[in-house]
Amino acid sequence: MAYERKRLPMTAEIVRANRRGGPEGVIDAVEQIAPDGFDHIDNVLSYAQREAIVKGYANKAGFGAQPGLQVVNG
């Protein structure tokens, strides 16, 4: 029961984020801002803006970097 009380709000937030576009949030934002197309993505959303959208979802979904953990390659 304690596990469910802890996890249920987190899971519900991920479901809400998915319904708002989830990881495709960048595509949705670009389409909304530039429905007729664009020449260069940076003229629509800066790299920092795109990164913020992706990281926001990744952190909610538990895919964000965690302090103290390091990536180990091969």
For the segment 11-43, what is each residue's pLDDT rounded down to a tens digit?
777 777 666 665 678 888 899 999 999 999 999
Q: To the nearest whole number, what is the mean pLDDT of the chain?
A: 76
SS3 assignment, position 64? coil
| pLDDT computed for residue 21 by the predictor | 61
H or E element: which one contains 46? none
Predicted structure pTM score: 0.53
The answer to whether 18 and 56 have CB atoms below 8 angstroms apart is no
Does the structure show a pLDDT above 60 at 66? Answer: no
Sheet strands (E) in the chain: none
- Token pair in block for residue 66: 């965690």
The answer to whether 55 and 31 have CB atoms below 8 angstroms apart is no
